[in-house]
Structure 1
Amino acid sequence: MATIHDIAKLTGYSASTISRVLNNYPYVDEEKRAHVQAVMEELHYIPNSAARNLSSGKNRNIGVILPFVNHSYFDQVLNGITREAFLSNYKVTLLPTNYDPEVEETYLKQFAAKEFDGLIITSRANSIEQLLTYQKYGPIVFCEELKETEVSCVYINRKDSILEGLMHLKEQGFDRVGVTLGRSRNLSQNSKITVQLCHEVFPKFSKEDIFWDCCFYEDGFQAEKFFTKRGIEAVFCNGDDVAAGIIRANPNRNRQSIVGRDNLLTSELMQFSTIDHQLHLCGKTAFQQFIENKKEKISIPYTFIKRI
């Protein structure tokens, strides 16, 4: 197998010159660069990526912490991240946690060991205080609003979007509203906002009207059974897949009684209202924050899509 010294011998250049060509240093004579690259191709030379990473201090790999890899919400965020990462010649490593704090901590330790140049945390299992201690190892971008801390975050305006969705249901004349949420009764910031606004908009709302651990299409079937027993008239869903499952479980349900999230194709085909949080833009912006190493707080606009 050819080495850098073999290339140096054949070209007549020093090993340091060969190294500069390999690492794309700007101040290399173009004739020398072309000569070195031609010899590399002739010898079928494959650069040692580990050695190049060691010399540059970067491995061009970003880790993305997320709870699931088979969920439409995170799929859209990932789509935005991976497309933007491709443009910067970065690899994306998925780090699924299933909201297990110990699994998440394992990934954080890998980050501290320089396995990733940075992290994008789409949703977390550990406290923000614990996660912030890892900022000294490199850039971390959070996909949630963090007001009181000096961090890079790209977030969705959940309060306004959720309020608009709930007001839409109220305007249709519904006063018994149920909600689907995930996280096994763990009140995330998203869940807290949803529950608070439900109490404000619908005086008859009760925490007993929440169907928990609801994330996927299949969960929607069980949610509809639950809401039917409780006499719930309308449902504010935490995703279009869940909303589609509810409608499939009860085809006679009034489509105006459902509001989903994510603006998936199913919401258009099944004709129910939804909230487009521009998740692709959220992912794209998060990667841009990482690559530019900025600590800014960026709110992503949303659109409420009314279907009647």
Structure 2
Amino acid sequence: MTTIRDIAKLSGYSVATVSRVLNNHPYVSEEKRRKILALIKELDYIPNIKARNLSIGVSKHIAVMIPFATHPCTDKIVSGILSAAFEAGYKVTLLPTNYDPTIEKRYLDELAAQAWDGMIITSKKLSFEVISSYLKYAPIVCCEETGDYPLSCVAIDRRKSYHELFTALIEKGYRNIGLIVGRAAKDSASTSIVLDTYRSVTGRKDDTYIVKNCRTFEDGVKAGDYFATLKSLEVIVTNGDDVAAGVLQNDALTSIDIIGEENLLPSRLLNFSTVDHHLDQCGEAAFQLLFEKKKKTITIPHTYIERNKR
């Protein structure tokens, strides 16, 4: 295999000069550039990308830590990241973790070893304290509120969006409001916020109308089976359009209003209302924050999309 030293030896120029040509450095004479480029073409030389990245200090390659390889909400954030990264000429590696802190820590160690130029964390199990300790190696941006920690973030004001939603439902005369959430409150700040807001606005302290640990269509089907046993139920607020679509598989709930989340295809096809937190915009903003020198927080506004009752 031809190396950069072979090109230097055959051209009669130094390795440094060949490296300048490979990196399109301006301070090389046209005669030298033409001769070196001709040899590169003749010998079909392919530069060592890792070595070149080390020499220029950037690989234009970022990592995105995601909880699951396939999840509608994660897909929407990733779509925004990919769109922004493509425009900037960056490569993106997705790192599924299944919320395993050991795996998350391993990926952060790889970041410290300069595997990527930076990392976006869409959701995690590790503490912000642990994550913050890696900022000395590379920039990190989180897709959730990071509080006083020195981590830039793109936040969704779930407290505001759910307060507005539950308040609007109460004002419409609903009293028995079902709620579906994902991870346990002790593991998820988002779940904790939604539950606190629900109890504060509705005044309901028990969990009779709450179903937890739902993330998929299949989970929604099981939740629908439970809600079908609650005769006084009037409306169900879910944590995702796929989950809402699962709930709707139960024929006993045909008279119940369903509200989804994130304005995905199921809510449009089945014509139910949804809260859009614009996660694609969250992903785009997270990518841009990787290049900010100081900590910065961006809050993405939400939109309630009301559709006809089925």
Report the TM-score when normalising by structure 1: 0.91
2:303 matched to which residue of 1? 303
CA-to-partner distance for each residue in 1:3-23, whole Å, 9 max, x for gaps?
Answer: 223333454433211101222
2:89 matched to which residue of 1? 89
State the aligned residue count: 307
Which deviates more from structure 2 when the two are superposed, residues 1-10 or residues 64-73?
1-10
Q: Tell me, what secondary structure is at the counterpart of 1:136?
A: coil
1:262 matched to which residue of 2? 262
Distance 1:185 1:65 in 2: 21
1:109 matched to which residue of 2? 109
* Percent identical residues: 46
Match runs of 1:90-239 below 5 Å: 90-184=90-184, 186-204=186-204, 206-231=206-231, 232-239=233-240
2:254 matched to which residue of 1? 253
Distance 1:196 1:294 in 2: 32
Q: Tell me, what secondary structure is at the counterpart of 1:229?
A: coil
Structure 1: 5+ residue stretches without partners: none
Answer yes or no: is the 8 Å Cα contact 2:224–2:249 preserved in 1: no
Answer yes or no: is the 8 Å Cα contact 1:84–1:284 preserved in 2: yes
Q: By how many angstroms is 1:251 displaced?
A: 7.0
Distance 1:47 1:118 in 2: 23
Distance 1:125 1:214 in 2: 17
Q: CA 1:103–1:5 in 2, change beyond 3 Å: closer, same or farther?
A: closer
CA-to-partner distance for each residue in 1:5-63, whole Å, 9 max, x for gaps?
Answer: 33334544332111012223343445644553343222211001121122223333212
1:241 matched to which residue of 2? 242
Answer yes or no: is the 8 Å Cα contact 2:238–2:244 preserved in 1: yes
Considering only aligned residues, what root-mean-square deviation do their CA atoms show, in Å? 2.1
Q: By how many angstroms is 1:244 displaced?
A: 0.9
Q: CA 1:171–1:253 in 2, change beyond 3 Å: closer, same or farther?
A: farther
Distance 2:205 2:227 in 1: 13
Distance 2:63 2:98 in 1: 16
Q: CA 1:24–1:171 in 2, change beyond 3 Å: closer, same or farther?
A: farther
1:57 matched to which residue of 2? 57
Q: CA 1:237–1:34 in 2, change beyond 3 Å: closer, same or farther?
A: farther
Report the TM-score when normalising by structure 2: 0.91
Distance 1:30 1:84 in 2: 35
1:277 matched to which residue of 2? 277
Q: Tell me, what secondary structure is at the counterpart of 1:125?
A: coil
Structure 2: 5+ residue stretches without partners: none
Distance 2:130 2:101 in 1: 11
**AA in 2 matched with 1:228:** A
Q: CA 1:291–1:24 in 2, change beyond 3 Å: closer, same or farther?
A: farther
Answer yes or no: is the 8 Å Cα contact 1:176–1:205 preserved in 2: no
Distance 1:298 1:47 in 2: 39
CA-to-partner distance for each residue in 1:142-163, whole Å, 9 max, x for gaps?
Answer: 1111232222111112122112
Which deviates more from structure 2 when the two are superposed, residues 286-295 or residues 123-132?
286-295
Distance 2:244 2:31 in 1: 62
Q: By how many angstroms is 1:178 displaced?
A: 1.8
Q: CA 1:178–1:88 in 2, change beyond 3 Å: closer, same or farther?
A: same
Answer yes or no: is the 8 Å Cα contact 1:198–1:205 preserved in 2: no
Which deviates more from structure 2 when the two are superposed, residues 168-177 or residues 267-276?
168-177
